[in-house]
Structure 1
Amino acid sequence: MKKILHIISSPRTDASISRKLGNAIVEKIKEKYADCIVTVRDLAKNPPPHLDESHINSFFTPEENRTAEQLDNIRYSDDAIKELMDADILVVETPMYNFTITSTLKAYFDHITRAGITFKYTGKGLLPEGLLKDKLVYIATTSGGVYSEGELKDYDFTEPYVRSFLSLIGITIAGVFRAEGQAIIGPEAALENGMGSIAIAV
């Protein structure tokens, strides 16, 4: 039985193209794994707090020495990481906002990036080693322009960032699906293109 974690970051609801694309990916996964369990973390409805000094201090305090206040400070992070570790497959969706991801998704990423838990330093001066092995992720991105190719490609800090971050913590990228060019061909046509590109790995 597969466990699916669906991470939503668009502040829009019914009108959100990224939500529709993400839901379509989840439905395709459910067709492949009929007995799967889907958990949804909606960052618009349950936004992660942006990190401040109290969070950082709590992260770096040994577990046995944390105060009640520090335990409260890291509750969101602990819950999000447990949810992530329980999942077999992730669906991460984000619209492009000002060439990059939503601030809520960035804050979520900050909370799940914990040394010794989701990654570890190698001591070799290289990139850290990801600890979240044996997990797949499907990424859904949406944008007004076309950023997968052409003259705007260098301005895409959405898909490359999400791909690089999730790879860094050990998660395998199984697919990236885009509903792009909404300002050119219209939202529905862009969504149709994105949905038509969905392919679920074995």
Structure 2
Amino acid sequence: MNLLHLDSSILGDHSVSRLLSAKAVAALTSANADVTTTYRDLATAPIPHLSGAYLAAAQNQDGVADGAIADDLATGRAVLQEFLAADTVVIGVALYNFGVSSQLKAWVDRILIAGQTFRYGADGRPEGLAGGKRVILTVARGGFYGPGAPAAPYEHAETYMRAVLGFIGITDVTVVVAEGVAAGPEPRAAALAAADQQIAALAA
């Protein structure tokens, strides 16, 4: 099994989403000795955000790119190939200002590629091309945004990632959530305990 492990939190060792993603990877690898893991830290080694120059170079197959644009194109190809080669993807997702981090958004922009992970049919409808993968999202939220919570309509991290994955044909998505981790020691401990239970079941 090829496993791609991504972290996107900017909090380093203080990050709950990083803690949970590491536990998820450990659970999966302990249950399967034949695992090749690729790790990418989107916060400490951020992928450049899309630029007009990048898009122009990517669309000009006959052109010759050099310097920073050539490096950017190489990064885009590497990120896409890592994703396409993965059977399972574990993504640590932190909720910042109601959405995903800009670093994770930059990664998404490198995998949503027409002709690679999706295409438009004759009727104009999109068709996902990346189905067959398993994706595990380990989501950390400082407050309470779950179903029924007053702030639920403001949650655009889990919902965004589900939409992205569904668009490219991925339906096997497991979401491990720890929320209320900034609400005090007791809510944090309860959230982590509940998430640990979910993670323990991943390899079942």
TM-score by length of 1: 0.91
Q: Name the structure 1 match of 2:114.
A: 115
TM-score by length of 2: 0.90
Counterparts of 1:63-78 in structure 2, within 5 Å, are 65-69=62-66, 71-78=70-77
Q: Name the structure 2 match of 1:168.
A: 167
Query: 1:189 deviation in Å?
Result: 3.3
The DSSP-based 3-state class of the residue aligned with 2:93 is: strand
Query: 1:184 deviation in Å?
Result: 2.7
Query: 1:39 deviation in Å?
Result: 0.9
Give the conservation status (yes or no) of the 8 Å contact 1:48–1:108: yes
Q: Work out the CA distance in 2 between the residues paired with 1:81 and 1:38.
A: 16
Q: Name the structure 1 match of 2:84.
A: 85
* 2:11 is aligned with 1:12: yes
Counterparts of 1:145-184 in structure 2, within 5 Å, are 145-149=143-147, 150-184=149-183
Give the conservation status (yes or no) of the 8 Å contact 2:143–2:183: yes
* 2:30 is aligned with 1:38: no
* Closer, same or farther: CA 71–116 of 1 in aligned 2, 3 Å: farther
Give the conservation status (yes or no) of the 8 Å contact 1:163–1:173: no
Out of 129, 135, 152, which is 1:131 matched to?
Answer: 129
Query: 1:201 deviation in Å?
Result: 6.3
Query: 1:4 deviation in Å?
Result: 0.6
Q: Name the structure 1 match of 2:196.
A: 195
Letter in 2 for 1:67: V
Q: Which runs of 4+ in 1 moved over 6 A?
A: none
Unaligned runs of 5+ in 2: none
The share of aligned pairs that are identical, in percent, is: 36
Q: Work out the CA distance in 2 between the residues paired with 1:32 and 1:61.
A: 45
Letter in 1 for 2:128: G
RMSD across aligned C-alpha pairs, in angstroms? 1.6
Give the conservation status (yes or no) of the 8 Å contact 2:21–2:92: yes
Q: Work out the CA distance in 2 between the residues paired with 1:35 and 1:73.
A: 32
Q: Work out the CA distance in 1 between the residues paired with 2:203 and 2:118.
A: 25
Aligned length: 198
Letter in 2 for 1:57: A
Unaligned runs of 5+ in 1: none
Give the conservation status (yes or no) of the 8 Å contact 1:174–1:201: no
* 2:139 is aligned with 1:141: yes
Q: Work out the CA distance in 1 between the residues paired with 2:96 and 2:19.
A: 17
Q: Work out the CA distance in 2 between the residues paired with 1:180 and 1:190.
A: 6
* Closer, same or farther: CA 53–152 of 1 in aligned 2, 3 Å: same
